[in-house]
Every structure is written in structure tokens, then in C-alpha cells.
Structure 1
């Protein structure tokens, strides 16, 4: 009898303990990370209406989290300070690999295209008209690169413009800087740098807000299509919370699914987007492929690495590329 009483008490205590844990983990608010593609003021102005609607639809308090660079958002997600975020593809890979992230949706441009383009830009009066011109005159030029975790600002031009021409931007230019897309574009327009990376979305935004500045910019290189920016949430969020978040985004601004369709369509228009589409971690496969290609080229050009070590590294990359290619083929994307 005593044993049964003790056992009942233990079960009751355990119930209260675990109930307490469940209550403690109840989600009431979410911190939404927004990558630093331009000034925080501009980002806040564009994103606040969407985050307000998200709060209304999901019932959670939504806090915007801005950091001066991509790494700040990744680290915040890694340590649970940010529960979901808008990333570029490169930073999304970092969030998935290092911060327990999971891709759940992708942005679409105003035409409904699931991609965007990296750009190399110069001032409209610059004599530079091509990548060849830039590389030929690099020793006399100031170059502003993108954030190292930026897909369109760093990874894509790094591969197509520099790696494929077997040059290192840090070594060939008179001076190399690093800034976000908006700063790069305005620096070119104001003749503060000779050449910079950017993307078509930022140039469109600048054209809408400061057409005179856009008129001072000349595009001299455009990349192949880059998969559009993904949205990522932490994998360890409760399933019902993830479902609410995902449902909000993939129905937002969709006629017949969004009860405030007209209003929400205007919110998307300010962000230069069409309605979102569902996505998974496979969304980043082309960028993973690009990163591996770039690393392989780096090893192949390393004259100081021991031949055995180099061969082993390249073999490892080739195996990883084979796996990615097989997955892309399975998805019908190769």
C-alpha cells in the first residue's frame, strides 16, 4: 500500500514537473532575423507591414532582429535568439549546417520567378565595360565585394568572375573593401569605388527610391540565375508552430487563400516579391555545388599543399559533388 502511495506521489510530481517544462516552452513570441542587404531603416520600412500581418495571423508577437552582417543572424539562430529568418542562399546553408535551421519557403520575384542575379557594377562614366576590362586594370582599381556570407554579393561573383579566371580579388586590386548591396551600389554611383558586386533586386529597390542614383550605375556583368532567397526556421520549434509559420507564408498574398489578399499583395509589392512558395533544404543544392566547385579550384591551384593531401581533398570533394549531382538528378534539376 505504502509503495503504491509513494508511486502515485512520484507520478504526480513528475506530471507537474513536465507540465511546468511544457508551459515554460510555450511559444508566445518569435524573433525574426532579417539579413543586412541594405540599411536597417530601409529594411524595417519594407518588412514591418509583413511582420505585423504575421503577428495578426499566427497570434505570436513578432520581433524584427537586424544584425550588421549575415553572421550575426546565423549566430543568433544557433543560440536560439532567433527562431526564423530571411537568408541568402549561402547564409541559409550556414544556418542549416551550424544553427539547426530548416528551409521551409522561398521568395519569388514580382514576375513569379524563383531566382535573381548577381551583378558587377561600375559608374556610368567608367571606361570599364566587361569582366575582362576589370581584371586587366585591377591593380589600379578599388573593388567593393559583398558580405562573405552573401550569395549574390560574394559567392557567385567569387566563382564566376574570379575563381574561373584563376584570380584572388584580395590580391589583384589596388584596394578591396566589403559592404552590403545597397552600400556597394551607392558607392559606385558616388564614385567612391571603381567596381562592386550587387544584385538586380537591390538595384530595382534603389531605382524605386533614388532613381537619380540608379542612373549613375552601369552593369557590366550578370550571373546565371541564382535560386531565390529562402526562409529558414529552427528545426526544434514545435510542429504546430512551424505549421502556422509555413502556412502564413505560403498563403500570404495568394488569391483565394488569403482573406486580405489585396492588402497583402501590396505588402509583397513593396518587398519586390510575388507570393512565396514552399521549399526544403534541397533548395540550396545548386549553391552547395557552387561552393564545392570553388573549393576544388582552390585546392587544384595550391602549389604549397602536399600532392597526397591535395589528391585526398579533391577526391573528397568529387564524392560530395557526385552525391549532390545524384540528388539534383533525382529532383529533375540537372
Structure 2
């Protein structure tokens, strides 16, 4: 039986307004509703972001309400209902919101390591089995998997695309059992013996080692992916360009000042997965994410079972046309 790890959903600050049509401009002075990608626990994510959002509120001159949820799916539903005005999203979710023309990218995060991204990882216990990648790939049906949701770039998409499918392994069906949850939850599952192998990523595992040092000591990385671009900040397209530029300017300047204010902002950024800050970005920053999603869809079509070859080719053609349309949307950076 498949077990889904979920944390209690936190709807924070009680400032949320009723959903508005995507085409309607939000009322002036109304709370800006900020959705947070669930990288750790919902309450933990809320607490990490609140100082930065309080500073943003002062700059924007209007309240900023926090929506911290327990799953990618919950955040996606909130975005679809237009209950989110701004959000911190990783590649696939940001890609979906921009492709559907609900939101536009204004900034991308940066980290102190200076790399333009992070890497998906595969974790096992140091004392196994399994303790090697070969053991996992040779007999996946023997092991219990802890992975991210299907929308998670490092928790599902990249490991599936770069590791498992090339070895004729579908993550959802080939393992003995699976646990689905946040990166923190999947790492804990392996550390506590509830799973044998987990998908994760370098940025979140670094944070995990600080928060759960004893559990982290039991784990090791047996595989790493290619670099994955960092997450984005997106804003609902209904907001005027002047507002979007104001948000972008605030984010780009955050943590770069001198004196006590700058020091305080840098402390806040460090608590946000050790971020160095933000750089200005537009929808084109999602082109690498679109390429990953396209490659995964194509790989699934090529390796999947079909009633006939014509059906497979029809699916491949839809993937190609959908990708071309998506690229066109992303290259049109104007909101």
C-alpha cells in the first residue's frame, strides 16, 4: 500500500481574501497573498519566510499574507482558484503557472555556493543494505522508496529522467513500496528505517544536516544529478507592471545593503535555505525547466506500452507541439 506523508495544512495570518478572476486587477491596498512551496514542514516554511515578507509589506505599503501548505497539490489548487498573488515555486510548478498565463516570473533565488542551481540526490543509510547505487538499480523491487511528489523537480522529475527511466525503472511501480512527501520527510523516512532509499537534493539535504544532525549522520548520497536551476518568485499577471517592478526591485536589493539593516536581511536570507539573495529574472528563466518536463514526457512516451505504434507517434507529436507552444510563451517575457 502506498503511504502519503502529509503535514497539517497551515492557513496563516487569516488575511486571505475570496478568490478573484485571473483577469481582474486586485483591489489597491488589499493583502498580497504569498504562497510558499512546501520544502519542509508547513509551519517551518511559514516561520522562515515571515521576516522577509514583513519587510516586503513595509516597502509595498500593503499587508502580505502567507499561505504555507502541506503539499505541491494544495498549492497548485490554491493558484488555480486565484487565491495566490505571489509565490516561491520551483521549476515545474512555476512553469505550469506561467504557461497557463496566470503568473509571471520576476526573480530567481541565488545561493552562497555561487552555483546556478542545485542537484537532485539519492540517499541511503550508511549501514545497509542497500549502500550502493548498483544494489538499488539491480533489484528495485526489493527496496522501499521515499520520493517527492510528481511535481517536484528534484524529488521526482530529474531522478526519473536522468537515473531510473534510462535503467528501465519506473519509480511509481518498480519499488516494493513508496512514501511520498517533502524532502525533509523522505530523508527522515530513510534515516528512521521506514524506507530504504530516498530522492532529495543538495540544498535541502544541507539544511537537513543542520536541523537533524543525528539522523543525517546515518545517511549517505549514492547519486547526484546534473545541475537544476534555482526556484523563482512569480507574481499574478493581473497586477500592474509597476507593482511587479516594485516587487522585483525589493527582492534584488534585499540583503545587499550595508549596516544593521543589511545584516538583518542577510540573516533572514540565510534562514531561507541559506539563500544569498535574488536576481532579476523573467519567464525565459523557466526554459531549462520546460526542457526537463519535455524530456521526461518524451521518455515516458517512448518507453510506455501503447495499443499500437500510431498511438505512440500521436502522443509524441502532441508532446512536440505542446513543448513548442510552451517555449513560445516563455520567450514572451512581457506580463
TM exceeding 0.5: yes
Contact (CA 8 Å) 1:105, 1:277: kept in 2 or not? yes
Asked whether the 8 Å contact 1:118–1:223 carries over to 2, the reply is yes
Deviation for aligned residue 1:137: 2.5
CA RMSD in angstroms comes to 2.6
> How much does 1:185 deviate?
0.8
Unaligned segments of structure 2, at least 5 residues:
1-23
What is the match of residue 229 of structure 1?
231
Q: How much has 1:27 moved relative to structure 2?
A: 3.4
In structure 1, the partner of 2:210 is: 208
Aligned to 2:264: 263
Query: If the length of structure 1 is used for normalisation, what is the TM-score?
Result: 0.84
What's the CA shift string for 1:144-188, capped at 9, x where partnerless? 110111111111111112122222122211112211100011111
Q: Equivalent residue of 1:223, what SS?
A: strand
Aligned mates of 1:161, 1:129 — CA distance in 2: 17
Contact 1:78–1:98 under 8 Å retained in 2: no
Using the alignment, how far apart are the partners of 2:99 and 2:328 within structure 1? 20
Corresponding residue to 2:28 among 23, 26, 29? 26
Separation of aligned partners in 2, 1:102 and 1:23: 14
- Pick aligned residue for 1:44 from 43, 46, 56: 46
Contact 1:100 1:234 in 2 (8 A): yes
Matched-pair contact (CA < 8 Å) for 1:79–1:99: no
How many aligned positions are there? Answer: 307
> Which whole-Å CA distance do the structure 1 matches of 2:124 and 2:160 have between them?
17
Structure 2 CA distance, aligned partners of 1:27 and 1:74? 25
CA distance in 2, matches of 1:140, 1:292: 30
Q: Deviations over 1:19-56 (max 9, x none)?
A: xxx99821331110001111122212211111111112
Pick from 272, 279, 282: which aligns with 2:281? 279
Residues 226 and 232 of structure 1: CA distance in aligned 2, closer, same or farther (over 3 Å):
same
SS at match of 1:117: strand
Structure 2: how far apart are the matches of 1:319 and 1:242? 31
How far 1:310 moved relative to its partner?
1.8
Shifted more, 209-218 versus 311-320: the winner is 311-320
Secondary structure at the counterpart of residue 285 of structure 2: helix
Q: In the alignment, is the contact (CA less than 8 A) between 2:98 and 2:330 conserved in 1?
A: no
Greater share of residues in helix: 1
Cα pair distance change 1:165/1:247, threshold 3 Å: same
Following TM superposition, by how much is the alpha carbon of 1:304 offset from its aligned partner in structure 2, in angstroms? 2.4
Secondary structure, in 3 states, of the residue corresponding to 2:44? helix
> Hey, what does 1:119 align to over in structure 2?
121
Please give the per-residue CA displacement for 1:69-115, whole angstroms capped at 9, x wherever unaligned. 11222222222211000011111112222360111111111223321
Q: Give the 3-state SS of the residue equivalent to 2:199 in structure 1.
A: strand
Shift of 1:323: 8.0
**TM-score (structure 2 length as normaliser):** 0.84
Aligned mates of 2:137, 2:245 — CA distance in 1: 49
**Residue 328 of structure 1: CA displacement?**
11
Offset at residue 308 of structure 1 (A): 2.0
Q: 1:64 maps to what in 2? A: 66
Distance 1:28 1:324, change over 3 A: closer
Asked if the contact 1:106–1:114 (Cα under 8 Å) also holds between the matched residues in 2, the reply is: no
CA–CA distance in structure 2, aligned partners of residues 92 and 27 of structure 1: 25
Aligned residues of 1:75 and 1:99 also touching (Cα < 8 A) = no
Question: Aligned match of 1:189 in 191, 195, 201?
Answer: 191
Verify the 8 A CA contact 1:78 1:99 in the aligned structure 2.
no
Tell me if the contact between 2:124 and 2:220 (Cα under 8 Å) persists in the aligned partners: yes
Q: In the alignment, is the contact (CA less than 8 A) between 1:105 and 1:231 conserved in 2?
A: yes
Structure 1 unaligned runs (5+)?
1-21, 330-334
CA 1:278/1:143 → structure 2, altered by over 3 Å: closer, same or farther? same
State how far apart, in whole Å, the 1-side matches of 2:50 and 2:38 are. Answer: 15
